[in-house]
Chains A and B, each alone.
Chain A
Amino acid sequence: MKPLIKSLVIVVVTAVVVHLAVILSAPNLLMAVAFKRLSAEGKMVNQMIYPPRTTEASRAIVRPSPDLAYSSCAYDLSKGPVRVKAARASDYMSVSVYAANSDNIFAINDRQAPEGVDLVIVGKGQVAPAGTAIVVQSPTQRGIVLERRLAPSAEAFASAELARKEGVCMPL
């Protein structure tokens, strides 16, 4: 009986450790996949990308809304802070920043920023230039910025398209 109990303990302990390891690492792993997809395999980092209107063919991020115009920027702070700008909006617009562990570390919408958004993301030990209105401290070197603009119709998407193209994501 004793060896059987010992065997069971080994199986259960291993199962618990592996189970927890998968659960705990899932956010980081899934963010890494998203980072790759939103940066064209790492070729388009620290720049805004503008995917076309969401359709049934959209497969970059789970559960996309067909009523929003998304823009994104996969950021990498290894060479310094990154500046993000978003033009003002006449309807719902928000800019949110996600760290590499999937945490939503910052969000702002058009009501809080009626003149548009202008922010600087800094990593550990980095400092934003004096006078920067909004400084977002990223706990991780990499992450993703996502801009959403309300665009439930083709016409609304066309005007959101003009506004989002004024956006900026670039190293300081």
Chain B
Amino acid sequence: MRAALKLGGLILIGAGLGLVSALAMLNQGMNIGKETVQGWVGSHVSGDKSADPYTRALVARAGLLALTQAETLYFNRTTDEAGKPLRADCTYQLEGGAQPARWWSVTIYAADNYLPVNGDDAQSADATRVAALAKPDDKGRWTVQVSPQKGEATHWISSKNAGNFALTLRLYNPQDGAREDFNSIAFPTLKTVSCPSVPA
């Protein structure tokens, strides 16, 4: 009787550890993939049938119904230029040029993988609106502000109520070179403009 109880207890402990470690794995899905270029994390295997079980589980958790590489490249970033987590109360400037794709967008997601709830209706920048709103200079450069308040920005993404958020770059119908070598992509750069010293 005691032996059976002990066995049951051990199995329970083991099951608990297995469950907790698996869920911890899944909840780290903000940074799917294995290759980081200029702060943007991408994967050559996301959405692919050949992906390993961990990647498959992570993609299902944080990118269910995502497209394959031929159709779209997804990149995620959760840190600033110094490697610190992105914060809702800071002001950042995202600057970039033409992207190697037919169409692109940058979207903000809160830690729960959904759009932040703030009533601002400013969750993304994309190739079409950047061309119209952000007044790219002659070289096609554009800037988008990521901050909790719009301020003087012409084009912004609202980070209000987003907590430690993520930015996702989507490249639709990417050029072959971009797909084969992430290092060839001129990613948008992120700069911290201001940050309250004490996190709100």
Contacts and interface: CB of A to CB of B under 8 A. Distances in A.
A62 B126 contact: no
Interface residues of A, number: 53
Contact of A104 (B57, B68, B105, B128): B68
Interface of B: 6-7, 10-11, 13-15, 17-19, 21-23, 25-26, 47-49, 53-54, 56-57, 59-68, 70-71, 102-103, 105, 107, 109, 113-119, 121, 123-124, 126, 128-129, 168, 170, 172-173
A41 B105 CA distance: 32
Nearest to B108: A66
Interface in A96-116: 96, 98, 102-105, 107, 109, 111
Contacts of A55: 115, 121
A56 B14 contact: no
Contact of B65 (A20, A22, A34, A153): A34
Contacts of A94: 67, 71
List of 6 A-B pairs having minimum Cβ-Cβ separation, nearest first? A14-B14, A18-B18, A22-B22, A19-B18, A26-B57, A15-B17
Interface stretch (A5-13, A79-87, A163-171): A5-13
B186 to A, nearest CB: 21
Most buried by B among A26, A58, A64: A26
B49 A92 contact: no
A27 B14 contact: no
A59 interface: yes
Interface stretch (A42-50, A121-129, A130-138, A144-152): A144-152
Given A18-B15, A92-B172, A96-B71, A62 B64 contact: yes
A23 B60 CA distance: 10
A56 B117 contact: yes
